[in-house]
Amino acid sequence: MLKSYLQNIYKTASKGDATEASYYPALKLFLEEYSKTIKKKITITQLPKKTEAGNPDFRIWDGEYHITGYIEAKSPEIKYLDPIETSEQIKRYLSTFPNVILTNFYEFRLYRNQQLIERVSIARPYIVDKLKTVPPVENEESFYKLLEKYFSFSLPNILSAKSLAIELAKRTKFLKEEVVTEQLNEEEKKGKGSILSFYEAFKRYLIRGLSKEEFADLYSQTITYGLFAARTRSQNGFNRKLAYDSIPHTIGILRDVFKFISYGEVPVQMESIIDDISEVLAVTDINNILRQYFYEGKGKDPIVHFYETFLNEYDPSTREKRGVYYTPEPVVSYIVRSLHYILEEHFEKKDGFANTGVTVLDPAAGTLTFLAESSKIAVKEFTSKYGDSGKKDFIKEYILKNYYAFELMMAPYAIGHIKISFLLEELGYKLEKDERFKLYLTNTLEMEELTQTDLPGMASLSQESHLAGKVKKEQPILVILGNPPYSGISANISEKEIMFDKGQEYITHYQIKTESSSSYKLIPQRKKAKQRIKIKQKTWIGELIEYYKIIDGQWINERKLWLQDDYVKFIRFAQWKIDQIGEGILGFITNHSYLDNPTFRGMRQSLMNSFNEIYILDLHGNSLKKEKCPNGSKDENVFDIMQGVSIVIFIKRKGKKEGCSVYHHEIYGLREDKY
């Protein structure tokens, strides 16, 4: 076989016009012949490569579904593989794929989990180049041993959540950087394509100003976590094509994406890496992972740690980019228990979170940590007072109807749906096929609603936008809680440029209308365009933030950017929502700068005008200010961030006289002591 292979290599070389790809058929034929001798059925896919990005040149399948490994081939003109081995391209391949051969068609190097374990030369290329003849076979036995090791590889059964997170992160990073980004660029040149359609829909209706790089990130994580969601519901075999059938019908956006992934004309490069991710999930002991999540991990939130591990491997800067920090369990528990107590004692809701008529919203839900804890407390309260017999009806008629959540990022959105479905099962309720938890993919701070879209496969985005819009605009909410993102340079713009045609009205400025000693209203002043012009206009949240620039009915003309921080905008959203119905409770953990920084003086007065009672638990930990304990000892943050934080609870009661009582306490010290 090797003689025949080298003869084919020689024939190709002797034509004088051979490129790297000209040698592919000879290698493919040899590997197919070799597989027959070891009685192993293999399938070889040759992967097209438009640029240096993308997958290795060959993907080897063991039978129909299991990926054996990859082969990256370089032209025989490259006599030495050492420089190639250290190139960025090969480093990416080796860090992503665990079983790779690098070859120039004469020398073969086998890498296992980034380590070079075998290298064999089967012939000397100069015999072809200089002597113009077929070279004799060398090191035959060693070469077959190398192939034996290569073909005997199979992914080990993944047993732990941490190892799964790491394996998925490596491949998702490759999918983002080498495949989706490249495919999007190609489709943009043509002006059409499925990935481009998804990008345009997300940019237009979900995240304004979304760059191609950000979309590649979002889309790649969506695929991985969608596959993960599907795998948790598939017990009898798993691959890319089976994924669509396992995505719950009620999570329409994921189904739209996976209709394309499972049944659409997926580009070969993308298909390859998605199959590889599916393979990792297929060999995962999913029952063991779920057991770790939902049974052995009682009192903890393993999904948070899973996603944290994933992000740290995938892209540590992602959490910083949109201010994503995962709330420590003691903080979540403290806030939820406090709100439960306040409902009982201040609002005369004797069952707290389990009380009929208590509506709850987390406007920056992440992986649903807060609402998962609220659900557990509600069910515990209900069963302790009324027994187990009505528990299923309670979950169906109360939690599934009165608990709401918004999330902007697709990965935590997908994880949140997985987590809550399993949590509800643990609490005693299995979601029916047509049921869902009311976690919506939406930008909380964007009020514009998508009515319909003609972009392929994205009808569900319109439906999700509509459902979220109804909650934002119409649904009375009594309790708002969570950990909103901290991002000084907010991704949620306060003004945008809009084109106005001649005769159209636009807002030139606002005037303040004083309604009472503590209440003000902004009145937009309008003007008609004399010609077609582009004017900057406040967004919905941008207009609301203007109220934080007023003190005693006068503009303070605050120009510093800190009022644009996302956490400030989320507090303003919650304040507005509670003001709509005249009562409610807000429990957040946020950056603590607004408590005393002069920039926020208008914000502080506005909050005191809205709420009757404000409880502040300042957790300090501000390394930016080099905070220390009063005795000079070390002061640590409860998060892995530099900005100090505080927990705040705002209470607004109907019928209470004007005036606000502010209660303050602070905790310094080590993190564990704070917990």
Q: Is the pLDDT of residue 295 over 70?
A: no
Question: How many Å is the Cα radius of gyration of the chain?
Answer: 30
pLDDT attached to residue 597? 93
Rounded CA separation 163/310 (Å): 9
pLDDT in tens, 442-501: 889 988 765 555 555 567 777 888 899 999 999 999 999 999 987 655 556 788 889 999
Neighbours of 82 (CB within 10 A): 7
pLDDT of residue 28: 94
Q: What percent of the chain has pLDDT over 70?
A: 92
pLDDT at 394: 96
User: Residue 246: what pLDDT?
Assistant: 80
Q: How confident is the model at residue 557 (pLDDT cuts 50, 70, 90)?
A: confident
Of residues 183 and 122, the one with the higher pLDDT is 122
DSSP letters of 93-132? HHHH-SEEEEESSSEEEEEETTEEEEEEE-S-HHHHHTS-
Of the listed ranges 96-110, 264-278, 337-351, the one predicted with least confidence: 264-278
Write down the H helix ranges in 152-267. Answer: 161-174, 181-190, 194-205, 212-232, 240-246, 252-263
Answer whether residue 417 shows pLDDT above 80: yes
**pLDDT over 60 (residue 152):** yes
Determine the Cα–Cα distance for residues 567 and 637; give it in Å rounded to an integer: 17
Selected residue with higher pLDDT from 568 and 313: 568
Average pLDDT for the chain: 88
What average pLDDT does range 370-377 have in this prediction? 96
Q: Of 57-61, 126-130, 161-165, which range is least confident?
A: 161-165
Is pLDDT of 516 > 60?
yes
Residue 298 has pLDDT above 70, yes or no: no
Higher pLDDT, 120 or 451: 120
Predicted pLDDT at 244: 86
Query: Can you give the pLDDT at residue 488?
Result: 55
| Assigned token pair, 336 | 């939820």
Taking the C-alpha atoms of residue 439 and residue 412, their distance in angstroms, rounded to an integer, is 11
- What's the rounded mean pLDDT across residues 286-294? 71
Whether pLDDT at 73 is above 60: yes
Residues 553, 512 contacting (CB under 8 angstroms)? yes
Which residues are CB-contacts of 605 (< 8 A; sequence separation ≥ 6)? 550, 551, 552
Look at residue 393 in the predicted model and tell me its pLDDT: 96
pLDDT at 299: 44
Side-chain-facing half-sphere of 551: CA atoms under 13 Å: 11
User: What is the spatial distance between Cα 319 and Cα 566, in angstroms, rounded to a whole number?
Assistant: 14
Does the structure show a pLDDT above 90 at 145? yes
Give which of 483, 371, 390 is closest to 428, Cα–Cα: 390
State pLDDT tens for residues 184-205.
Answer: 988 899 988 888 888 887 887 7
Tokens describing residue 32 = 């197919």
Residues 613 and 548: beta-carbon distance below 8 Å: no
- pTM value surpassing 0.75: yes
Mean pLDDT of 506-515: 91
pLDDT one-digit tens code per residue, 18-67: 899 999 999 999 999 999 998 888 888 887 665 555 689 998 987 656 78
584 has a pLDDT exceeding 50: yes
Higher pLDDT, 434 or 646: 646
Mean pLDDT score, 272-291:
85
User: At residue 605, does pLDDT exceed 90?
Assistant: yes
Kindly state the average pLDDT of the residues 280-298.
72
Q: Are strands 107-112 and 115-121 parallel, antiparallel or unpaired?
A: antiparallel
Q: What are the C-alpha distances in Å from 213 to residues 30, 341, 498?
A: 40, 45, 25
